[in-house]
Chain A
């Protein structure tokens, strides 16, 4: 098979031509891709891009998730995890708690810590500076990916500081990159229902713009399979792509399947295999300017995550030690996927596993990897 002659679907064939000529796919193209049943053709295009960018490598991480509190004043309907202060399940980690957990995780060998939490007004910026410097103190070369755009905006508000200052202070204390959470779906119509008190999509993008300007690399997420439709997804992808054209600061795009159990959103069913392929492959093709596409095996299950490695995805996520957010909402994957487990999955897909952090330190720039 020779790309792109083997693409049978004529519409997808024109998209393949665009890709070969470095012409971005249009929104109409994206809508078509999200609805097509010709997933093999779609996959061929996505795999072509993925291979051009990353060759035969597939990435995974060894890190720990740190959720410092589940008390959150937003109480978004989409969340199965948040609590009010005083709830019997509510918790707030002290610096000592955090130190203990990090020490324990470091002794088991981790490269990175991934920190997010609920919006709790009693926490001042000092708490976060202390948290970061404590962590850095335990392992100075640990990579810290910390706080979503939603949290930074909140810190700025509750501490009465300009956003840039918040970034500068926390970067000084140890933050090296931002996770992509809080994006959900940008469309206001949907956002008003699933996360009405959260900052708007516009605001989220604006916070990221500031982060990129300060020199931080960030991820971006997208929550799918709740009440959004294909147009909402295309809109979301567009806005990410546009901002990326402006700043170049997004490292990785991470679509996340919504899990409805224990949340206030009633979802008919899980996505199908075709649905997942459509979302990920379309993301890969449309977001030509975002280097990495990640499929978290804990959200998707290791079977789909492995399959998606040949449909556009180059990173399957990490060995999580303490994943509270997804398991509260009914994900049926094992609690702990060891490093050999992930490496084997990748090897069985006939790719070369490479352990990395959110910064992908061994990857230089887009397009410099030899294809297979």
Chain B
């Protein structure tokens, strides 16, 4: 509980807002949770000084689950067969967007499996079909893996792909990262992009002046060192591009995947990673509490340790649901929970600007 002498230098660095090294970050794994939480909270206050906690009313639309990658950690792809194979038509997609608009939503996340036969045109048409009908809807869609997939299938460089999608109406791209550690990727998702390819996507987005985010799916057998390596890749990319608006940690849920034997991460793991991420990623403003995988109680507690945003209210989310996790929420519930923590709920847009404050 009390810190040893050598920790007090690190302690001061953190409380003075100085960047910490990967070695120092590793040391944080040995801190008690309350000490770590306080440090995370301090860094949150430095990055985001108000007590506002944002959420966005959005919808994830998974347009197909036919995927050539078949990653071990996925319960959603058609081959896992927990969700039967499907492809949504443009009409299906537009109908779902309409439901979102009726519910007062502002953001749509189109994401899908890496379909072997989709080309750039497939995606351009999809974006176009939504943006034409709903010009006010913000399209925060696809992922680095999908962009690389499109680039390969269409034999076009990333830059060209990104520009074409942007011209069709794509506003920003979530930076789904899983674990940016080649050792793990080779084992669990060999058909998905490498770390270098992830970086290339970020550079291509930057060149096209598009924003992104970064995530972390932990609990897949990685070491503490590897967790920090992951965060380091993200921090460096942010230094170079400045396009990452947020970071979200998710715990991997082994149920119903080919990695069922992996022991699931615990609450302490989550909060530890949350706080350490906040402290290490000094160049990213928003850290979201991943309530979808952690549950609302723990996500709320994360607000005291470094998280400042609740992410999306999510009208529909199929990928995590396929693993059997049943969490859903409404904006009323999120507002309630944020207030219960003594903070101010705000509905925000995809650029983190306030739409409505619930003082």
A277 to B298, CA, bound (A): 11
CB distance from A40 to the nearest CB of B (A): 5
Q: Say yes or no for A122: interface residue by CB 8 A criterion.
A: no
CB distance from A202 to the nearest CB of B (A): 33
Q: Say yes or no for B188: interface residue by CB 8 A criterion.
A: no
Q: Say yes or no for A301: interface residue by CB 8 A criterion.
A: yes
Q: Of B11, B32, B298, which is within 8 A of A304 by CB?
A: B298
Q: Say yes or no for A51: interface residue by CB 8 A criterion.
A: yes
With contacts A3-B1, A274-B300 taken as known, whether A304 is within 8 angstroms of B340 at the C-beta atoms is no
Q: Say yes or no for B49: interface residue by CB 8 A criterion.
A: no
Q: Are the C-beta atoms of A307 and B271 separated by less than 8 Å?
A: yes
Q: Which residue of the partner chain B has the closest CB to A48?
A: B1
With contacts A269-B333, A275-B340, A277-B301 taken as known, whether A1 is within 8 angstroms of B296 at the C-beta atoms is no
Q: Say yes or no for A303: interface residue by CB 8 A criterion.
A: yes
Q: Say yes or no for A310: interface residue by CB 8 A criterion.
A: yes
Interface 1/0 per residue, A24-40 and B, CB below 8 Å: 00000000000001011
CB distance from A113 to the nearest CB of B (A): 29
Q: Are the C-beta atoms of A301 and B297 separated by less than 8 Å?
A: yes
Residues of A within 8 A of B343 (CB): 37
Q: Say yes or no for A6: interface residue by CB 8 A criterion.
A: yes
Residues of B within 8 A of A301 (CB): 295, 297
Q: Say yes or no for B331: interface residue by CB 8 A criterion.
A: no
CB distance from A165 to the nearest CB of B (A): 46
Q: Are the C-beta atoms of B297 and A276 separated by less than 8 Å?
A: yes
Which of the 9-residue segments A61-69, A223-231, A341-349 touches chain B?
A341-349
Which of the 9-residue segments B224-232, B260-268, B278-286 touches chain A?
B260-268
Q: Of A43, A272, A273, A304, which is within 8 A of B34 by CB?
A: A43
Q: Are the C-beta atoms of A344 and B263 separated by less than 8 Å?
A: yes
Residues of A within 8 A of B128 (CB): none
A42 to B343, CA, bound (A): 17
Residue from B34, B268, B295, B296 with most neighbouring chain A CB atoms (10 Å): B34
With contacts A40-B304, A269-B336 taken as known, whether A307 is within 8 angstroms of B35 at the C-beta atoms is no
Q: Are the C-beta atoms of A37 and B341 separated by less than 8 Å?
A: yes
Q: Which residue of the partner chain B has the closest CB to A271?
A: B297
CB distance from B169 to the nearest CB of A (A): 39
Q: Which residue of the partner chain A has the closest CB to B305?
A: A40
Q: Say yes or no for B342: interface residue by CB 8 A criterion.
A: yes
A217 to B317, CA, bound (A): 50
Q: Are the C-beta atoms of A307 and B38 separated by less than 8 Å?
A: no
Instruction: State the main secondary structure of chain A at its contact with B.
Output: helix
Q: Which residue of the partner chain A has the closest CB to B265?
A: A348
Residues of B within 8 A of A43 (CB): 34
Q: Range of interface residues on chain B?
A: 35 or more
Residues of B within 8 A of A348 (CB): 266, 268-269
Q: Which residue of the partner chain A has the closest CB to B271?
A: A307
Q: Say yes or no for B33: interface residue by CB 8 A criterion.
A: yes
With contacts A40-B304, A306-B267 taken as known, whether A273 is within 8 angstroms of B298 at the C-beta atoms is yes
With contacts A272-B340, A275-B340, A306-B267 taken as known, whether A40 is within 8 angstroms of B298 at the C-beta atoms is no
Residues of A within 8 A of B294 (CB): 303
With contacts A272-B297, A274-B341, A275-B340 taken as known, whether A303 is within 8 angstroms of B34 at the C-beta atoms is no
CB distance from B96 to the nearest CB of A (A): 28
Q: Say yes or no for A108: interface residue by CB 8 A criterion.
A: no
A167 to B210, CA, bound (A): 75
Q: Which positions 209-227 of chain A face chain B at CB distance < 8 Å?
A: none
Residues of A within 8 A of B3 (CB): 1-2
With contacts A272-B300, A306-B267, A307-B271 taken as known, whether A1 is within 8 angstroms of B38 at the C-beta atoms is yes
Q: Are the C-beta atoms of A272 and B1 separated by less than 8 Å?
A: no
Q: Are the C-beta atoms of A1 and B35 separated by less than 8 Å?
A: yes
Q: Say yes or no for B37: interface residue by CB 8 A criterion.
A: yes
Q: Are the C-beta atoms of A310 and B263 separated by less than 8 Å?
A: no
Chain A residues in the interface with B (C-beta under 8 A): 1-3, 6, 37, 39-40, 43-44, 47-48, 51, 269-277, 301-304, 306-307, 310, 332, 344-345, 348-350, 371-372
Which 8 pairs from chain A and chain B are nearest by CB? A37-B342, A273-B297, A303-B267, A273-B301, A273-B300, A348-B266, A272-B340, A307-B267
Q: Give me 20 other A-B pairs in contact (C-beta within 8 A), A1-B34, A40-B304, A40-B305 excluded.
A: A1-B3, A2-B3, A37-B341, A39-B304, A40-B34, A40-B38, A40-B41, A47-B1, A272-B337, A272-B340, A276-B297, A302-B267, A303-B298, A304-B298, A307-B268, A307-B271, A310-B268, A345-B266, A349-B33, A350-B268
